Amino acid sequence: MTPPDILPFASVRGTWGAMGAEVGQIFSPLIGRHLDAWIAHVTRETGAPRAAVVAAAQPYAAAIQTHAPFLWEELEGMARGSGIPLEELLVLQARAEVLRAKRLARPAAPATEPPGECTTFALGGRRAESGRTLFGQNVDLAPFLAEFGVIVRQQPREAPATLMYMTAGLLGHNGLNEAGVGVCANFVDDPGGWGDGLPRYLLSRLALREETAAGALDAAMRPPRAASRNLLIADAGGDFVDAELLCREAGLIRGQDGLLVHANHLEAACFQGYEKPTENSLRRRERLEALLAGAPEPLTVADIQRYYRDHADAPHSLCAHPFPGRDVQTVVSVIGDLERLELHAAKGSPCRAVYATYTIATCRDGSLSVMVRDAYQPAPA
């Protein structure tokens, strides 16, 4: 087998600004390509020129400065390290908000249904090997984003060390911290529309500063939200919760019998009747729950890797690939182990990739940070 195509990895420590600068320097070319590709995507979708796209991101600066000043410091450092202007890096932090704003501003824009993105889970107790808490996500986005994924390990001075998946230049998406808290973030829509507040991707970073799932939930719900977001939060103690966060309302779903699964439709009791779920979201959610609930116990990481490669119910499959009307694919598959403090991540569609294992504990003891122990043999493309 040829050497696997795995996600680039960076390990940084120090102040928020110093860590941002180092990540910016390490990934500068990748950040630049991600920024250009995203702006080109917004332009194709909305007709907005580059200057208008950058301008649309600027109002979000105040919310970051007010509600997550440590992230503003990190972003300033990333601008220094990468050589990319801060105002352009703001586009990546608010990329979904900017895209939607420019779509709404387009004259006579046709109504479009947002595509479902991502299928998440958490499980523990008797369901998981050695009673551990496992969580994860197939991240389904525009296919071009697959090439920009990275794993970043941070050792800040004033918060738990973290191990996170993100697209280069974006400050957060999903991951875990050394206290044993894990976060996945996926799309839900708010029928009432989006507004002002903290960009949705950054809510994960607030959660990962905490030491319990309950604390992480409180931190993520505290600031005003610019967009709707679904957060699945778990901790090593076996507590996990799914928070459906609309801009001004929130609905919580607790795990049942050691299992919690979510896709992209609203399920909280308080949101019943708010929307009509898409077939794609319903089928993916049902399939993952059936696989996890019906499997022989206890489940291992290898079992879940196999399930996230599943193509049953295609084109509405867990391992997502584009089909007419939905130009979305799985750009990364991430599975976290909150006892071993490991992320297992497959770059791109997991049916075509191996999972590499990234560790957080090694930032303390200096041993290997990244390894491949997945025996899967991807079929030739």
Encode 12-81 in three state secondary structure. Answer: EEECHHHHHHHHHHHCHHHHHHHHHHHHHHHHHHHCCCHHHHHHHHCCHHHHHHHHCHHHHHHHHHHHHH
What lies within 8 Å, CB to CB, of 3 at 6+ separation is: none
Bridge partners of 232, per DSSP, are: 184, 242
The length of the chain is 381
Helix pair angle (69-82, 86-93), 10° resolution: 120
The tokens of 234 are what?
A: 């778990």
User: Could you tell me whether strands 329-337 and 259-262 are parallel, antiparallel, or unpaired per DSSP bridges?
Assistant: unpaired
Report the amino acid identity of residue 96.
A
Which residue type does 110 have? P
Q: Say whether 252 sits in a helix, a strand or coil.
A: strand
Predicted pLDDT at 112: 56
How far is the C-alpha of 131 from the C-alpha of 18, rounded, in Å? 38
- Where b means 16+ CB within 10 Å and e means fewer, 110-140 reads eeeeebbbbbbbbbbeebbeeebbbbbbbbb
Which parts of the chain are beta strand (E)? 9-14, 119-123, 134-141, 149-156, 162-167, 174-177, 181-186, 229-235, 240-245, 250-254, 259-262, 329-337, 342-347, 355-359, 370-372
pLDDT of residue 93: 98
Looking at this protein, which amino acid is placed at residue 182? G
Kindly report whether the peptide bond that precedes residue 115 is cis, defined as omega within 30 degrees of 0. no
CA dist., res. 186 & res. 124, Å (int): 21
pLDDT of residue 117: 82
pLDDT of residue 381: 58
Of 216, 267, 277, 262, nearest to 246 by C-alpha is: 267
What pLDDT is stored for residue 1 in this prediction?
35
CB distance 345 to 175 below 8 Å: no
Q: What are the phi and psi torsion angles at 164 (to 5°)? A: -135, 145
Tell me the three state secondary structure of residue 85. Answer: coil
d(CA 231, CA 282): 18
Q: Give residue 155's pLDDT.
A: 95
Query: Which segments in the chain show pLDDT lower than 70?
Result: 1-4, 107-116, 362-368, 380-381
